[in-house]
Amino acid sequence: MLESYFRNDQQVDSEWIYEAQPCFREFREKFPDIAVIESNFLNILSYIIMIIMIY
């Protein structure tokens, strides 16, 4: 999940932009049989990113 998030970054005007939607799409493609609620996935991803940034 994290690898996908950081791999799908873009540089715009010398600033790095990270988007969660490509990460969610990639997760759905790799694990099509797992039922995932998008909002839950994005909340968990945001929480993990926040923890990483703190430490």
* Residue 1: per-residue pLDDT: 78
Residue 2 confidence (pLDDT) above 90: no
**How far apart are the C-alpha atoms of 8 and 54, rounded to whole Å?**
21
Residue 7 confidence (pLDDT) above 90: no
What are the pLDDT digits (tens) for 11-51?
Answer: 888 888 888 889 999 999 999 999 999 999 999 999 998 99
* Residue 34: per-residue pLDDT: 94
Cβ-based neighbours of 18, under 8 Å, separated by 6 or more: 5, 6, 8, 9
CA dihedral 34, 40, 41, 47 (to 10 degrees): -140
What predicted TM-score, i.e. pTM, was given to this entire model? 0.74
* Residue 35: per-residue pLDDT: 95
